[in-house]
Amino acid sequence: MSDLPPDPERLRVIVVFLRLQLADAERALAEAERRETERQRGVDHRPPPPDWVIDHGLNKDALPVAVHVGGCHMAGKRVKGVSRDAALRALADGVEACSHCRPDAELGYLEG
């Protein structure tokens, strides 16, 4: 047994309503697909992490806290990508090397 009304007038109203709902759903799907494409494009074009980073602690004017290998999970949010020479200079100036990623070993830095 059908839940639809038997008369043409009410069936036409239902068909129009369903067409409007379908159009809304198709627009929402197109927008969701566009957002997903943009998100994936951002992931695909994300620049690689720098080879070396210096963690600056709680504020941008603070002295460096640690040197990390780029992409280290222990690096804070306030890091700056630096060159190999800058990372070596920071280690020579007494900035601590991260004990997890060991940039001093990666750089071949021997204390002293």
What pLDDT digit, counting tens, does each position of 31-90 carry?
Answer: 999 999 999 999 999 998 899 999 987 776 778 899 999 989 998 888 889 999 999 999
Query: How high is the pLDDT of residue 88?
Result: 94
- Above 90 in pLDDT, residue 2? no
The closest of 103, 110, 92 to 55, measured between CA atoms, is 103
Query: Residue 56: its pLDDT value, please?
Result: 86
Residue pair 67/91 in contact by the 8 Å Cβ criterion = yes
- Note the pTM of the prediction, 2 decimals: 0.61
Average pLDDT for 5-24: 96
**How crowded is residue 18: how many other Cβ atoms within 10 Å of its Cβ?**
10
3-state DSSP helix/strand/coil percent for the chain, to nearest 5?
Answer: 45, 10, 40
- In the prediction, which pLDDT does 60 show? 66
